[in-house]
Structure formats: structure tokens, C-alpha cells
Amino acid sequence: MHDDSTRSASTVSRRAALAGLGAGGVGLALATTARHASAQDATPTAMAGHPIVGTWIIDRDVAATTEVPVVVVFTADGGFIDPGQGVAGVWEATGPRSAAMTIIPFVERGAGGYSVVRATWEVEEGGDSMSGPASVTVVTPDGMVVTEIQLSSRATRLRVDPIENGGTALAGFPTWTPAPPAAATPTP
């Protein structure tokens, strides 16, 4: 059955969709039958104690070696902030070390639109790393779904690094290979 609300040919590139993700990233939990407590319903003390709260360096798509990592903040009241991308969102606890999030970055290039980023995170036992799946859905301004991308993300908690470490790379920071520049259009 053909769905007219979905285009098979995308005018939005994977890079643009992933830019929306960095905007992270990374969104909403997989559906479950049990209702999870939302960040807004939980007490501030309970939210503040969740291991996802803090600042993280996120590798949005571990399979893409050219993606630049992003630095984001999960707030104690259920907010999500990606200052580098200018995106905000929400998160909620789904377990003692797991969470779901949703963000909606806007796509200003080309015809415009927005992305819906849905992800789940599992914070590892030590509390300094987390990983999880994400889904990015790109939508045009008129509500038509252009594409959907599934990916895996991972993150490292950003900790204060002593001044004595000056002159060294930040331990645990993800590495990437810069993408080659786009071919230039010759001018007459």
C-alpha cells in the first residue's frame, strides 16, 4: 500500500538529518505497556539523582566516522539542551539507569522543516558512559515525512579536567575523520 505522506526520494541529506540529531542526537523510548514516570511528574530529588543528569559528549552515529560529536546537557528537571546546535528537548526516566528523550530540531536549509529525534539511553554501571538506539524522522513544513533513519549513539560524561592536564587531549573524547570539502562550483 502506498502512503502519499511519505516520499521515497529525499531532498534532505543524511548529513542534514544527523545535524538534526545532534541536535542529537537522540529521542523517545520504545513503546512499552507500562507507563513510565515522566520527568515533569517525578520529584525534583528523584530526577536529580538519575545518572543521566549532567553534561555529555555524544557520538550521534557510531557508524559515521565523519560526524562531529556534540556536547549536551540533561537537566535535573527533565530538560535537554544542545547549545551548539541550538536545540532543546525533554527526557524521562524509564528505569534506574535508563531514559528516553525527544528533541525537535528545525531544518533551516533547503525547503526547511523539522526532525523528530527519539532515543533511549542506558547509563553504564560506572555512570561515565551510556549508549542506545535513536530514530530521526525528517518532516517538511507541511507535515510530510521525508525520511527516517535508525542509528546507534554513545556518550561519555564530561568531567572537570585538571589544569595540570593542559596541553593534552581530553581523555575519552570521541575521534572523527573530517568530511572532505564539497566540490566547488567553478566561476566563469
Fill in the DSSP letter of residue 92: E
pTM over 0.85: no
Alpha helices in 64-122 (DSSP H): none
Low-confidence residues of the chain, pLDDT below 50?
1-40
pLDDT at position 22 is 41
pLDDT at position 108 is 84
By the 10 Å C-beta count (0-12 exposed, 13-18 middle, 19+ buried), 82 is classed as buried
Beta strands in 60-110 (DSSP E): 70-74, 79-82, 87-93, 98-103, 106-107
Q: State the CB neighbour count (10 A cutoff) for residue 55.
A: 13
